[in-house]
Amino acid sequence: MKLTVIVPVYNERPTVAELLRRVCAAPFDKEILVFDDASTDGTLEELRDMGLIPGGGPLRVDGPDGQHNEIFLFTRRVNKGKGAAVRDGIARATGDVVLIQDADLEYDPGEYATLLQPILDGRADAVYGSRFTGTPRRVLLFWHAVGNHFLTFLSNMFTNLNLTDMETCYKAFRTDVVRGLRLRSNRFGIEPELTAKVAQSGARIFEVSISYSGRSYLEGKKIGWQDGVAALWTILRYGLVRDLRRPRPKTRILERLQPLRRYYAWLYEHFVPFVGHVVLEVGAGVGNMTRQLRHAREIIATDVDRECLRMLRRQFLNDHRVCVEEFDVSLDPPAGWRGRFETVLCCNVLEHLLDDAAAVRRLAETLREGGYLIVLVPGMPSLFGELDRALGHQRRYSEKEVTEKLAAAGLKIEKIQWLNRIGALAWWVNSRLLRRRRFPFWQARVNDWLVPWLRLEDRRPLPWGLSLLVVARRPLATS
């Protein structure tokens, strides 16, 4: 593994040389990106005396145990702040993991191994080093600690995390994760912004204990009450507004649906009796339904979108039951899949295909005798509108159309049910009346709140709704 260490520097002449020596000694091969933020105390001269050339090639330094280190120096003529340095460092990073390191010796580079272990184990995408969980720390300012705890508490309220130290400098991220975020803060607001956006991205976050040797203001500590106010504003701003880097439309819509845990659990209840131990999921997206498949022993989760596949692999990295594979249902499945699966789950896929009937036949071939094909499709052709066009839907289905295509593939219908009548009304308003091409995030969340109402709908089935659920069975061979 190669580590990228981002070192923002502003007026740290007494400590910067020793800090870089300690970073070089840490037990990883590293690129060290040093950003001098228009220092006025001779810090830049100190860095030049070490042999660093602003904007030039790297200074190569071998660590005591053979570590390979490359140190790069970048300078600014105008002070822009820590956040600007962090954003520039992330854009330039070539390592597998990005770590942020202040230049004031408050944090010990000797603890890199502890900080990075959850990422190396494949358990985490981001790791926070907590100063408040019992490790040795210098005792300093009470009200400064109160401010840290308050900001962490407020951040946790908006992100639904349980961090103990949101404002810590020591944050490490998988590079592909942090580079996928849209970061805007130039100064100390970078800390709550990173936390808000990493939480919104669905990344796995760990927290480990670190030591802390804080400085007093007489010793050069720079953060003040103004930065606390800015952090407060940043927490509110990014807690209320999703400002992630825009993914492709499909991924953006699926991510908007991720928080609907009760809704997906309610949906799963309708077909859980038909879920076997060996499951093929077609069009798994970002794993919204995959997470519900608790009864399966083996799951092959598939998609054609590379971004979705990357998110699936990251999300289920430590779930030995889940294998993520690229599969296009418009093409023939691998030969080894023929007659392999007890259940094939196909949610919101067929409506995207030009030849959906052929896709159904291919999926039927992957079933064992007696296995079930579970299909969820958008219902009611009269609802077809702008939202459908934006989502790439070729059609919405009537009950007759979908059952005929399943029957033509040699499958026997076991269950058919219309779902979410209140959602059908909302779809008509957005797609037909208002001609929207995307639904508001708050409306997606409403579906989760309405699960008790949807359960009431289930008690009185009617032949219409937003979605149509069909379960079909591959008959047993006759002797």
Q: Per-domain residue ranges for the chain?
A: 2-240, 249-473
d(CA 54, CA 72): 8
39-43, 437-441, 471-475: the lowest-pLDDT one: 437-441
d(CA 281, CA 287): 10
Higher pLDDT, 249 or 280: 280
Evaluate if residue 223 carries a pLDDT over 80.
Answer: no
d(CA 155, CA 238): 10
Take residue 235 and report the two structure tokens written for it.
Answer: 């927490």
DSSP-derived pairing of the beta strands 467-473 and 412-419:
antiparallel
Residue 443 has a CB neighbour count (10 Å cut-off) of 15
**pLDDT value for 307:** 81
Which residue is associated with the tokens 């959906």?
Answer: 356
d(CA 49, CA 42): 11
Which residue, 93, 82, 36, 38, is CA-closest to 186? 82
17-31, 171-185, 214-228: the lowest-pLDDT one: 214-228
Q: How far is CA 109 from CA 67, 83, 220, 312, in A?
A: 14, 20, 20, 33
Evaluate if residue 248 carries a pLDDT over 60.
Answer: no
Angle formed by the axes of helices 306-315 and 249-257, to 10°? 40
Contact 298, 279 (CB under 8 A): yes
Evaluate if residue 23 carries a pLDDT over 70.
Answer: yes
Higher pLDDT, 362 or 479: 362
Beta bridge partners of 372: 343, 473
Residue 93 has a CB neighbour count (10 Å cut-off) of 22
Residue 142 one-letter amino acid = F
**pLDDT value for 302:** 97
Residue 206 one-letter amino acid = F
d(CA 322, CA 314): 11
**pLDDT value for 89:** 95
Higher pLDDT, 479 or 364: 364
**pLDDT value for 61:** 94
Take residue 421 and report the two structure tokens written for it.
Answer: 């009548």
Contact 438, 387 (CB under 8 A): yes
69-73, 136-140, 361-365, 402-406: the lowest-pLDDT one: 136-140
pLDDT digits (tens, 9 = 90+) for 92-131: 999 999 999 999 888 999 999 999 999 998 889 999 999 8
**Mean of all residue pLDDT scores within the chain:** 88
Residue 107 has a CB neighbour count (10 Å cut-off) of 25
The residue-averaged pLDDT of 151-156 equals 92
Evaluate if residue 377 carries a pLDDT over 90.
Answer: yes
pLDDT digits (tens, 9 = 90+) for 48-70: 999 999 988 899 999 888 899 99
**pLDDT value for 236:** 85
Secondary structure letter of residue 214 according to DSSP: -
d(CA 172, CA 97): 7
**pLDDT value for 92:** 94
Contact 276, 372 (CB under 8 A): yes
CA atoms within 13 A on the CB side of 256: 21
Which residue, 96, 25, 34, 114, is CA-closest to 67? 25
DSSP-derived pairing of the beta strands 97-100 and 322-326:
unpaired
SS3 content of the chain, % helix, strand, coil (to 5): 40, 20, 40
Evaluate if residue 216 carries a pLDDT over 70.
Answer: no
User: pLDDT category, 245, cuts 50, 70, 90?
Assistant: low
CATH of domain 249-473: 3.40.50.150
Secondary structure letter of residue 103 according to DSSP: S
The residue-averaged pLDDT of 337-360 equals 96
**pLDDT value for 250:** 52
Residue 119 has a CB neighbour count (10 Å cut-off) of 22
Which residue is associated with the tokens 């702040």?
Answer: 81
**pLDDT value for 306:** 83
Superfamily of domain 2-240: Spore Coat Polysaccharide Biosynthesis Protein SpsA; Chain A (3.90.550.10)
d(CA 399, CA 429): 22
**pLDDT value for 195:** 94
Evaluate if residue 233 carries a pLDDT over 70.
Answer: yes
The residue-averaged pLDDT of 419-442 equals 85
Which secondary-structure segment (H or E) carries 228? helix 225-240
d(CA 429, CA 237): 29
d(CA 232, CA 196): 12
1-15, 74-88, 156-170, 247-261: the lowest-pLDDT one: 247-261
Higher pLDDT, 135 or 88: 88
Q: How far is CA 158 from CA 57, 186, 246, in A?
A: 43, 21, 21
The residue-averaged pLDDT of 261-280 equals 93
The residue-averaged pLDDT of 373-389 equals 95
CA atoms within 13 A on the CB side of 114: 15
d(CA 145, CA 151): 10
Q: Which residues of 273-294 are buried (b: 16+ CB within 10 A; e: fewer)?
A: ebbbebbbbbbbbbbbbbbbbe
**pLDDT value for 168:** 92
**Which residues, including other chains, have CB under 8 Å from residue 19's CB and lie 6 or more apart?**
7, 12, 101, 103, 104, 105, 109
User: pLDDT category, 154, cuts 50, 70, 90?
Assistant: very high
pLDDT digits (tens, 9 = 90+) for 292-334: 998 899 999 999 988 888 888 878 877 899 999 999 999 999 9
